Amino acid sequence: MDLAALAEYLSGRRVNNDIAVASATLQGYDYLLTLQDEVDFVWFAQWNAGKILFYLNRYLPFMDIPVHLYMFFSTNSAADRCMWLDDWINGSYVVAIILSDTILVMRTWVLWGATPIGALLLFPALAGTAIACAVLVSQFARTVQYETAPSTIIEGCFILHASEVLADVWAICLGIELSVLAITMLRGIRHRFGMHCRGTLGTLYWDAIKFASLMSAISVASLAITYTAPASYMNGTASFQRSLHSILASHVLLRLRRKISEIPPEVSTSQGTSFWVDSMAGYQISSNAAPEG
C-alpha cells in the first residue's frame, strides 16, 4: 500500500473510530434515558411475542458494541480473527434489520386494522426482505479481505477490500421503509378525513411516520456512503445504522406502552375497532369519535 492509499485509509479509520464511539455512547445514553419507561411499561407486562421482540431489539446491540470497539481500536489484530468478528457483525446486521423492520411492519398492519389481507401483503414482503438481506450480506462477507496492519501504530482490523454489495442491502431496507411510510401516510389521511384521528390513534400515526422517515433517511445516508466512500468507511456507517435502528424501533414500542397506560385499556362503544398494537396489549378506539373542538 502506497503512502497516498495509507493516508486515505487512516482518514477513513479516524472517522470510523469516532462513529463507533458515538454509536456506543448514543446506545448507552438512550438506554439510561428510557430505562424507567422499560421498568414501568415492559418489565411486568405479560410475556408474549411483542415483549420478546422488544428485548431482542433493545439488548442485542449491547453484544455488538464490544466487538465493534475491538475491531476499531485493537492493536496487532490478526486477519483471521478480524474475519471471524466481521462475520459476527454481518450476522448481527441482518438480525437488526429484521427486528426493526418487523416492528414497523407490525405497526403498519395494526393501523390497517390487522386484517388477513394486510397480513398476506405485508408479512411476505418482510420475509422476502429478510431472506434477500441475509443472502446479500453473506455475499458481501465473502468479498471482505483483512490483513495484519503494516504498522503497529494503526489501530483496529486492517481492511483491504470490500464490495459494494452492502449498498444493495441498504437499498432493500430503504425500499421496505419507504413502502411502510407511504402505506402509513395513506391510512393516516383516510382516518384524518374519515374519523378525525386523535389520542392514541393519532400517536400511532405520528410515531409510525416519524420513525419510518428517520429510518429511511439513515438508509439513504448509508447507501450514499457505501457507493462513494472507500471500504475503510463501511463498518462505521453500518454500526451507526445498527444503533439507530435499534433505538428508534424500541422507542416505537415504549411510546406506545406509555400512551396505552394513559387511557383505559378498553373504550366502551357500540362501534369499535380492535387494534392489537404491539402484541403486548389490546385496546379499542371508537370509530364514531366526535371531532376535536
Domain extent listing, the chain: 3-281
Structure confidence at residue 32 (pLDDT): 96
Of residues 14, 9, 157, the one with CA closest to residue 80 = 157
CATH number for the 3-281 domain, one of 2.50.20, 1.10.3470, 1.20.1070, 1.10.3210? 1.20.1070
Rounded to the nearest 10 degrees, how much is the dihedral formed by the CA atoms of 72, 73, 75, 78? -30
Q: How far apart are CA 34 and CA 28, in angstroms?
A: 10
Distances (CA, A) of 27 to 62, 92, 170, 237, 246: 8, 15, 21, 15, 9
Helices H, strands E: what count in the chain?
A: 8, 4
Scan for cell 414497523, then name that residue: 104
Of residues 28, 89, 101, 129, the one with CA closest to residue 239 = 89
Counted residue by residue, the chain has a size of 293
In this structure, the strands spanning 272-276 and 158-161 are unpaired
Three-state secondary structure call for residue 282: strand
How many CA atoms within 13 Å lie on the side-chain side of 36? 1
Q: How does pLDDT run along the chain (293 residues), one tens digit per residue?
A: 567 767 777 777 787 788 888 888 999 999 999 999 999 988 988 887 778 888 999 999 898 888 888 887 887 778 888 888 888 888 888 888 888 888 888 878 877 777 788 888 888 988 998 899 889 888 888 888 888 777 777 777 877 777 778 778 878 888 888 888 888 778 767 666 545 555 556 666 777 777 778 877 877 877 787 777 766 666 667 778 888 888 988 888 888 777 777 665 454 343 333 334 444 333 333 333 333 43
Q: How far apart are CA 96 and CA 137, in angstroms?
A: 12
The answer to whether 149 and 161 are in contact (CB under 8 A) is no
Sign of CA dihedral 261, 266, 271, 274: positive
**How buried is residue 4: exposed, middle or buried, by Cβ count under 10 Å (0-12/13-18/19+)?**
exposed
Q: What are 121-145's pLDDT values in tens digits? A: 888 988 998 899 889 888 888 888 8
Residue 209 corresponds to which cell in the numbers above? 411516520
